[in-house]
A and B are shown apart, each in its own frame.
Chain A
Amino acid sequence: MLFLIEYAREKGKLVTFKAFSEKDSTLAKNTRLELELDLNRRGVNREVVLLEAENEEALRRTHRRYFENLEELVRAS
């Protein structure tokens, strides 16, 4: 599965999270680009990235920073 992430670094917060199936990979890439273009035009600085994982649980395991705050990162270890 593909996951589109929009993340506000300075707040450490996830803003957008969308899942796409493998067959929709072109749509996922196009959505990522459109989001980035829109943010750039509005002068909003956000990290926009497309990640691929077997499922959401696997993604949350390898990219915890997008989903958890500092306390949660350590507590759940």
Chain B
Amino acid sequence: MKTEISKAQIDRLGDRLRKGNLTDSDLRLLDEYRRSFTSAYEKVVGLIRRELEVDPTGRPAKSTTSIGEKLRRESIRLSQIQDISGCRLIVAEIADQDFMVAALSKLFPTSAVIDRRQKPSHGYRAVHVVATIQKRAVEIQVRTALQQLWAELSEKLSDLVDPAIKYGGGSESIQRILTKASALVIRQEDFELRLISQKKRANRLLSTPRPEGQVNEADVRVIQALQERVDSHQEHVIKAREVVLECLKDIVKDLSD
């Protein structure tokens, strides 16, 4: 019968991963440790698919390269890493993101929510919900389409130019551009939130019951004004998205030049 790997064994393996020069038995032990997340991963992804009717892309086990880098970058033990196993959900806008995070929190009541919109990590914005099943953590990343695009660009630049870029290091000019792009994503999200708020106000007014034929002119004016603001915000949202994309295209052009 196979014995479970002890925490001490895992952390000693983590020390060796931090140093590099891994042996076959190190890689086999790491593989065994990662496979111990399979059941928790399958439960989490299965529940998301069944209950929320969405299809996340899963990463049952973090790569050895990424684990090694994380151990070298942070003062953390292997047994403490929370994203050994995880999955990703991409939603259209910030309202969908809030909705999805609320649904996930309900589905996994003991989960921890890490809101990287409140506290971005070197420009990285997303919400991570960490569900723990059978003492194994599974990280669910929820990103909007724009947050996803920013993250993919940041990762690609880290791959090609300098791995430190993703963590706020490397070329200052690339950092400046990524920070600017992240600020534009925030502006876009702000527009989206204001649009939601205006729509809610308009809907509240429109759904207020009134006796037939007794809609007063003041109400009509308020509703018209709100409708105009909703339209105006809608335009801002579209324009802001275009600005973000243009900015990101500039990053790529600068790098190509």
Contact = CB atoms under 8 A, between A and B. Distances in A.
A12 to B, nearest CB: 5
A64 B59 CA distance: 14
B57 A58 contact: yes
Contacts of A59: 57
Q: Label chain B's interface by main secondary structure.
A: helix
Q: Which of A9, A48, A69, A75 has the most CB of B within 10 A?
A: A9
Interface residues of B, number: 39
Given A40-B24, A50-B60, A54-B55, A77 B160 contact: no
> What 3 pairs across the A-B complex have the smallest Cβ distances?
A52-B58, A62-B57, A9-B159
Interface of A: 9-12, 29, 33, 36-37, 40-41, 45-54, 58-59, 61-65, 68-71, 73-75, 77
B35 interface: yes
B160 A10 contact: yes
Interface string B243-257: 001001101100110
Contact of A33 (B31, B57, B251): B31
B88 A70 contact: no
Contacts of B92: none
A52 B155 contact: no
Nearest to B49: A54
Interface in B50-109: 55, 57-66, 87-88, 90
B153 A50 contact: no
Interface string B156-176: 110110010000000000000
Given A10-B159, A12-B156, A77-B245, A49 B63 contact: yes
B153 A51 contact: no
Given A29-B35, A65-B152, 9 more contacts: A29-B31, A36-B31, A40-B22, A51-B58, A61-B57, A65-B159, A71-B252, A74-B249, A74-B252
A37 B27 contact: yes
B153 A53 contact: no
A62 B90 contact: yes
